[in-house]
Chains A and B, each alone.
Chain A
Amino acid sequence: MSVQPNPKLREYAALASGAKLSGLQWGGIAAVIVVGLLLPQFVSDYRTFQFTLVLVYAMAVLGLNILTGFNGQFSLGHSAFYAIGAYTAAIMMDRWEIAYFWTLPAAGVVCLVAGFLFGLPALRLEGLYLALATFALSIATPPFLKYDRFEKWTGGVQGVTIIKPDAPFGLPMSQDNWLYYFSYAVMLLLFFCAWNLLRGRTGRALKAIRDNPIAARAMGINTALYKSLTFGVSALYTGVAGALGAIAIQFVAPDSFTFFLSVAILVGMVIGGIGSIPGAIFGGIIIVFIPNVAEQISKAAPWAVYGTLLILFMYFMPLGIWGFIRMGYARLTRRQKAIE
């Protein structure tokens, strides 16, 4: 006697694990995409530039989220990968005069390799020890970028200034608008790839390693390979974000990539929502706008306000903004069902 799998149950499991999206979720995604497309039409160039930065940081946060949220490996070193991506773009554009769009795949590949190589020794380190090792990586980055021997390429302390790209084919839009749409396209592609990667076998393997590495190994998952590859993919995302960030800011310098950038990405991930893909967008918004809000509240001690805001966020939304939205929705529908 064989058990017939219940197709309905399968459907529910797929929906619950995020492998499939419900009609509501598809609708939400479509709405967000449309809002994103229309946004620059309603705001000034300066605001568009800020939203471009939001997209850039959202990609970096997603990179860290793949590593920390889905795979359980801590990193305080993502400013280093962001810097590598940014410098790859700047050096290619300024020293070798290569078009800006080619710098993104190059930055991605360079960071993939760098992340994978860093992931190998990191295999021996767990939790706090890994956090310390990556912390070392991020504080070593600025002096490394200032190092004499590389000055020919990196410009030393002075950094590299690059030129902002114009819209192609004579499209009648400002540089800021064009860069926004370009970043938007890249972000959608990266988010789609992340969703595809995380919803299937690979995603399950990553989460299994996070939740119980010994059980994961017992089930035949090559934990070493998965963990270092995750490091590589995570670095790739952050590196592409770094390259786009460099193009938007038009300038790279060692002081742009201090340890505080790593902390900002981490804060964005936690407040946006650990282990969620849409949370990364909220993370980007948090990174760009929270310091401005803090400054508006108090110029004398902006960081005290910043800290207070973080505590409030963590107190009222312990699962981050996306977790808050999900929980709120779940509660509403439960009540609905109870009434029915």
Chain B
Amino acid sequence: MLNRRNFVVSAAALAIALAYGPANAAGKYDPGASDTEIKIGNTNPYSGPASAYGTIGKGIAAYWKMVNAEGGINGRKINFISLDDSYSPPKAVEQIRKLVEQEKVLFVFQSLGTPTNTAIHKYMNAKKVPQLFVATGASKWGQPKKFPWTMGWQPTYPSESKIYATYLLNNKPDAKIAILYQNDDYGKDYLNGFLEGLGAKAKTMVVAKASYETSDPTVDPQVIKLKASGADVFFNITTPKFAAQAIRKVADLGWQPLHFLNNVSTSIPGVLKPAGLEKSVGLITTGYIKDPGDPQWANDADVKAWNAWMDKYYPEGDKKSSFNAYAYAVSSTMAEVLKRAGDNLTRANIMKQAASLKGLKVPLLLPGITVDTSPTDFYPIQCAKLQKFDGAKWVLVGDTICPK
């Protein structure tokens, strides 16, 4: 029965609930988060043999500087703690433990390197601390069942390979394919992804394979052997020095295959110039991120914003380095995840938000490339576009291709 007194009491209760309810919900925090701050941990090689990658860590720090200058995320400042691991797995374990146990970060973002991330993989998942958007192209970061707290970001080597395979199956099903690959983890990741992409047709389509060691002086003998197989498609899985040798040799032999070059070696000054620009015409590769140094993007809004950011927050950084574009794009993705997490800054919710990105447009990604994840799909960027070299620059061709 609703008399006046009851009504007053329930109205007052409702008012209190309205006033305090959301405020209570706002207090959902795990270690590393508070009303004023979000603590993010990171390791990068600032010293040691792989210190060239260190610019990524510095770039990310510069990005958070910009975010904080503009008021932070949902009113909270980002406290980005980046430690040096020298690209050494034991040091990475030590530093990550410092971040998680002593600094008490909410999560770890963009830890760099395949061996270093492998070393902390089990630890992060045992501690249930997110290991988000790790900076490596290996395929093992997307196993939501076995490792629900770890996620990659960039397209993996096998998924890039599958894009070439898909293209061939659709456009040149009777191709005779020759493959040159580096005999290590990276080369085999590409090779296996490619064979998997071709599926049952791999046996008939692939007519020749040759491998080389990084200690080999040249890959000329391998290229001669591959040409002799009569192949009309050449998949070039090589690092920059060997890529340049192979491109040059293919042209010198007068072999004119459909030439796929892996994304690792697409630098124009680093690979194509030494190989000879006229000899590189017609090469095909994939791309997912805009190269800010490419003149075709000079008037692009993202690239303009990136330039302004570089000038203001990271003036000592190298504008020609694609690592700095990468740092900007991956940090934007992270910022979006944090925005969506709102006031529920628990580790579980960060993972949940990271695993429910649908068609997210991230600055500097090529038009049509989006970030997509789901609770069963921990590979944020899978699609890429094919690009063809016209003698001066990479030209986008065709639609976005996503591996099956």
- Are A45 and B118 in touch, CB under 8 angstroms? no
- Are A46 and B118 in touch, CB under 8 angstroms? no
- Are A250 and B93 in touch, CB under 8 angstroms? yes
Residues from chain B with a CB closer than 8 A to the CB of A44 are: 101-102
- Are A258 and B49 in touch, CB under 8 angstroms? yes
- Are A291 and B118 in touch, CB under 8 angstroms? no
- Are A302 and B84 in touch, CB under 8 angstroms? yes
Residues from chain A with a CB closer than 8 A to the CB of B47 are: 291, 295, 302-303, 306
Residues from chain A with a CB closer than 8 A to the CB of B91 are: 291
Residues from chain A with a CB closer than 8 A to the CB of B82 are: 299
How close is A119's CB to chain B, nearest CB, in angstroms? 27
Contact of A249 among B89, B98, B121 (CB under 8 A): B89
B157 at the interface (CB under 8 A from A): no
Contact of A253 among B83, B94, B98, B118 (CB under 8 A): B118
Q: Given A157-B115, A161-B118, A291-B84, are A255 and B89 neighbors across the interface (CB < 8 Å)?
A: yes
Question: How far, in angstroms, from A249 to B123 measured CA to CA in the complex?
Answer: 10
Can you list, as one digit per residue, whether each of A38-62 has a CB less than 8 Å from chain B (1) or not (0)?
A: 0000001111011001000000000
Interface residues on A, range: 20 to 34
Q: Given A148-B183, A245-B90, A291-B84, are A46 and B101 neighbors across the interface (CB < 8 Å)?
A: yes
Which chain B residue lies CB-closest to A148? B183
Residues from chain A with a CB closer than 8 A to the CB of B49 are: 258, 260
Which chain A residue lies CB-closest to B102? A46
Give residues of chain B (94-129) contacting chain A, Cβ–Cβ below 8 Å.
94, 97-98, 101-102, 114-115, 118-119, 121-123
How close is A209's CB to chain B, nearest CB, in angstroms? 34
Question: How far, in angstroms, from A143 to B101 measured CA to CA in the complex?
Answer: 34
A158 at the interface (CB under 8 A from B): yes
Question: How far, in angstroms, from A176 to B98 measured CA to CA in the complex?
Answer: 14
Q: Given A158-B185, A159-B115, are A299 and B93 neighbors across the interface (CB < 8 Å)?
A: no
Which chain A residue lies CB-closest to B215? A143
A210 at the interface (CB under 8 A from B): no
Give residues of chain A (286-335) contacting chain B, Cβ–Cβ below 8 Å.
288, 291, 295, 299-300, 302-303, 306
Give residues of chain A (238-268) contacting chain B, Cβ–Cβ below 8 Å.
245, 249-256, 258, 260
Interface residues on B, range: 20 to 34
Which chain A residue lies CB-closest to B57? A299
Residues from chain B with a CB closer than 8 A to the CB of A143 are: 215
Which chain B residue lies CB-closest to A86? B90
Question: How far, in angstroms, from A115 to B99 measured CA to CA in the complex?
Answer: 38
Which chain B residue lies CB-closest to A143? B215
Question: How far, in angstroms, from A255 to B215 measured CA to CA in the complex?
Answer: 17
Residues from chain B with a CB closer than 8 A to the CB of A279 are: none
Which chain B residue lies CB-closest to A161? B122
B184 at the interface (CB under 8 A from A): yes
Give residues of chain A (145-160) contacting chain B, Cβ–Cβ below 8 Å.
146, 148, 156-159
How close is A157's CB to chain B, nearest CB, in angstroms? 4
Which chain B residue lies CB-closest to A302? B47
Residues from chain A with a CB closer than 8 A to the CB of B88 are: 255-256, 258, 260
Question: How far, in angstroms, from A164 to B387 measured CA to CA in the complex?
Answer: 47
Which chain B residue lies CB-closest to A254? B115
- Are B89 and A159 in touch, CB under 8 angstroms? yes
- Are A251 and B118 in touch, CB under 8 angstroms? yes
- Are B118 and A159 in touch, CB under 8 angstroms? yes
Residues from chain A with a CB closer than 8 A to the CB of B141 are: none
B86 at the interface (CB under 8 A from A): yes
- Are A249 and B185 in touch, CB under 8 angstroms? no
B133 at the interface (CB under 8 A from A): no
Can you list, as one digit per residue, whether each of A9-48 has a CB less than 8 Å from chain B (1) or not (0)?
A: 0000000000000000000000000000000000011110
- Are A256 and B86 in touch, CB under 8 angstroms? no
- Are A156 and B185 in touch, CB under 8 angstroms? yes
B270 at the interface (CB under 8 A from A): no
Residues from chain B with a CB closer than 8 A to the CB of A288 are: 94
Which chain B residue lies CB-closest to A304? B47
Residues from chain A with a CB closer than 8 A to the CB of B102 are: 44, 46-47
B48 at the interface (CB under 8 A from A): yes
How close is A3's CB to chain B, nearest CB, in angstroms? 58
Can you list, as one digit per residue, whether each of B61-91 has a CB less than 8 Å from chain A (1) or not (0)?
A: 0000000000000000000001110111111
Task: Give me the 5 closest cross-chain CB pairs, A-B, nearest first.
Answer: A157-B185, A46-B101, A251-B119, A255-B115, A253-B115
Interchain residue pairs with CB less than 8 A apart (16)? A44-B101, A46-B98, A46-B102, A157-B185, A159-B118, A161-B119, A249-B119, A250-B122, A251-B89, A251-B93, A253-B89, A256-B90, A258-B49, A260-B86, A300-B46, A306-B47
Given contacts A157-B114, A161-B121, A256-B119, 20 further A-B contacts (CB under 8 A): A44-B101, A46-B98, A53-B94, A157-B185, A158-B118, A159-B115, A161-B118, A249-B89, A249-B93, A250-B122, A250-B123, A251-B89, A251-B118, A256-B89, A258-B88, A260-B49, A260-B86, A295-B47, A295-B84, A303-B48
